[in-house]
């Protein structure tokens, strides 16, 4: 069974499975964090429901976004969301494996790659019995190096790579970025509450760029239990005193 969920952004709606993989706030954070320029050519790796391409389409002008999804059923559902929103001229959903997608799309031709990759290896935590959710959360079909390598192959000179990942995997991530000639440029730590340690990070790197990392102010998700921070609410045009209902599609900041 499927649901049609209102993103509360530019009237966009998204088709999702009622049971199984549903987007979480993490994808929204990444889509709002990535540096987006007019005319960007974007690839979203492991697009899932297509949430990131949809939000980017609302943010950018004259951009073209290609969402890559391994699971045929997820790719078909994301493509239907594109049609439902009338975004065929902006978003394309392709079924494919990120490990060889550069051969199909062409290497070195994209200005931005985004990725919300699995946070856990197959050895960490319990794997979901639902295929879509299992692939999204655990490195069953690809590892972090596969994601970084894919981005490096797709990006043009000075192209940008933006992703979200667990904070404790930063050392591994920095090593992989160095290996594939991607220099970290913007880092933002995500805190569920202001007095809690960061569990996730947003990172943007550039291909063949000089080392010039900027650590941005922390991103606080909740001001108190059940109430989003002012920054989160502003993304939905609500701001101070606005409704707390922002239509999160998967429940929580736990990374699908």
Is there a contact between 235 and 28 (Cβ–Cβ < 8 Å)? yes
Closest CA to 98 of 88, 110, 89: 110
90-94, 116-120, 123-127, 159-163: range with lowest mean pLDDT = 123-127
The pair phi, psi for residue 2, each rounded to 5°, is -115, 160
Please compute, for residue 233, the number of CA atoms within 13 A of its CA located in the half-sphere on the CB side: 15
* 2-235 CATH pick, 3.40.50.620, 2.40.128.20, 3.40.50.150, 3.30.9.10: 3.40.50.150
> 155: which strand partners?
110
pLDDT tens digit string along 3-58? 999 999 999 999 999 888 889 999 999 999 999 999 999 999 999 999 999 999 99
Cβ neighbours for 150, distance < 8 A, ≥ 6 positions apart: 45, 98, 99, 101, 102, 113
Q: How far apart are CA 253 and CA 82, in angstroms?
A: 25
- The pTM (predicted TM-score) of the whole model is 0.87
Which two three-digit tokens encode residue 236?
Answer: 């939905």
Report domain extents, the chain: 2-235
């Amino acid at each position: 069974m499927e649901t049609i969920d209102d993103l509360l952004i530019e009237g966009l709606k998204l088709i999702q499975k009622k049971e199984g993989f549903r987007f979480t706030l993490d994808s929204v954070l990444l889509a709002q964090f990535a540096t987006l320029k007019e005319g960007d050519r974007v690839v979203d790796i492991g697009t899932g429901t297509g949430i990131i391409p949809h939000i980017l389409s609302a943010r950018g002008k004259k951009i073209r976004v290609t969402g890559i999804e391994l699971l045929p059923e997820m790719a078909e559902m994301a493509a239907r969301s594109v049609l439902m929103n009338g975004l065929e001229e902006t978003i394309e959903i392709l079924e494919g494996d990120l490990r060889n997608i550069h051969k199909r799309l062409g290497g070195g031709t994209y200005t931005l790659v985004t990725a919300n990759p699995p946070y856990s290896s197959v050895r960490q935590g319990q794997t979901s019995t639902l295929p879509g959710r299992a692939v999204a959360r655990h490195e069953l079909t690809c590892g972090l190096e596969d994601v970084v390598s894919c981005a490096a192959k797709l990006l043009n000179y000075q192209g940008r790579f933006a992703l979200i990942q667990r904070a404790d995997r930063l050392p591994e991530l920095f090593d992989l970025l160095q290996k594939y000639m991607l220099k970290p440029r913007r880092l933002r730590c995500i805190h569920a509450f202001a007095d809690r340690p960061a569990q996730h990070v947003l990172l943007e790197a550039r291909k063949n760029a000089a080392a010039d990392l900027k650590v941005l102010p922390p991103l606080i998700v909740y001001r108190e239990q059940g109430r989003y921070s002012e920054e989160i609410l502003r993304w939905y045009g609500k701001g101070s005193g606005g409704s707390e209902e922002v239509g999160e599609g998967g429940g929580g900041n736990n990374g699908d």
